[in-house]
Amino acid sequence: MPRTRPLALATLAAGALAAAGVAAASQRAQTTQQAAATFAAGTVSHSRTKSCTGSDGAYQETVATYTGTASSSDARLNGSLEIRARSVLNATSGLGWVEGSFRVRGGEGGARGTLHAAVADGKAVGSLVGEAGRPEARLVASLASAFSPSAGFSSGQLGTGSASLAGVLFQRGACSTAKRTKTTAVSHLELRPDAVVPPSSVRGKASGSFTLDLTRDASGTITGATAVFYVNYRFDGSVTITGLALHQGARGSNGSTVLDAGTGTIADPDGSGNVTKVVTGVSGSLAQALLSDPRGYYVELTTSNGALRAQLDGFSRR
């Protein structure tokens, strides 16, 4: 039989013990410590909002990025903060929820995770779950903050302080969206002397546009507008422009002025050029009437020698 070699066995045993010691020394001891920070993220970017109306009021769904600062005695929770969140709020009751990602670019690798919070009376209350530091430590913390989709997070507390409890039950269902309409309406103009009532003898013509930049409320109702008159004219010889205005009146009839461009008197020795005038404060009722019945209105350019006229013939939207 072969003989056992005591020295070789001893060497192997010592090596195994040394390896076990190195493995034990490389393992980090298990610990638990408090995670606490205050934060604010009030700089809002990349914000997109959709609105609709449910059976219990108006809803606002917002996706946005909120940036700011987190402050903590723990380096991992102390640094610049970015929250990318989606929120759904009932504007009538003030109830809703917010969820998204939470990233602190702090020391030792910082911290990151996902947040889930209920929203009530302008307060978000929930939790943050994620990781912090290198090597990673599990992060689980309460979260409370003032919150609005347009202003972001303020007076935030992570794992500290106290907050009123909040809870919501959200059931997705039918939520009607107001029909989106373009906010700019344009009517193209071809002004001619024979469209004037009675026809004008002035030798000239003009083209251009009449534009309405519309303002609407949340329900889509037109509340006002800004009007833009643009006319490019050409006359045979010098001309003195005396006015440019929108009138109410059907084709073949004259009507009263409803909107004056305010050109004043413009003397043009070569008889060709253009006029652009912007009129603010157009009433919502006039803007709506123009869109409802454009053919009941016309634009007239008056000069010292006669006039040019164009009947509105509908609006294109953009």
More confident site: 65 or 92: 65
Percentage of the chain beyond pLDDT 70 is: 88
Q: pLDDT at position 147, please?
A: 96
User: Which of 173-177, 203-207, 299-303 has the weakest average pLDDT?
Assistant: 173-177
What's the CA gap between 246 and 257, in Å, rounded?
A: 6
Helix (H) or strand (E) holding 26: helix 6-26
Q: pLDDT at position 50, please?
A: 87
β-sheet bridge partners, residue 300: 245, 309
User: Does residue 16 carry a pLDDT above 80?
Assistant: no
β-sheet bridge partners, residue 160: none
What is the pTM assigned to this prediction? 0.53
Q: pLDDT at position 318, please?
A: 66
CA nearest neighbour of 309 among 210, 203, 208, 191 = 191
The burial of 7, by beta-carbon neighbours within 10 Å (0-12 exposed, 13-18 middle, 19 or more buried), is given as exposed
User: Does residue 273 carry a pLDDT above 50?
Assistant: yes
Structure tokens at 104: 């602190």
- Look up residue 94 and give its amino acid: G
Query: What is the tens place of the pLDDT at every residue in 231-268?
Result: 999 999 999 999 999 999 999 999 999 999 999 999 99
Instruction: Quickly count: other Cβ atoms within 10 Å of residue 57's Cβ.
Output: 13
User: Does residue 180 carry a pLDDT above 60?
Assistant: no
Structure tokens at 25: 């020394």
Q: pLDDT at position 170, please?
A: 79
Q: How far is CA 314 from CA 44, 149, 189, 307, in A?
A: 40, 39, 10, 22
Across 276-283, average pLDDT:
95
For residues 301-315, b (16+ Cβ closer than 10 Å) or e, as one string? bbbebbbbbbbbeeb
User: Does residue 274 carry a pLDDT above 80?
Assistant: yes
Mean pLDDT score across all residues of the chain: 88
Query: What is the tens place of the pLDDT at every residue in 212-231?
Result: 999 987 677 899 999 999 99
What's the CA gap between 254 and 257, in Å, rounded?
A: 10
Across 161-183, average pLDDT:
72
Query: What is the tens place of the pLDDT at every residue in 284-314?
Result: 999 999 999 999 999 999 999 999 999 999 9
Cβ-Cβ contacts under 8 Å for 231 (sequence gap 6 or more): 189, 191, 206, 207, 208, 244, 274, 275, 276, 299, 301
Across 193-222, average pLDDT:
92
Q: DSSP for 27-89?
A: SPPP------EEEEEEEEEEEEEEEEEETTEEEEEEEEEEEEEEE-SSGGG-EEEEEEEEEEE
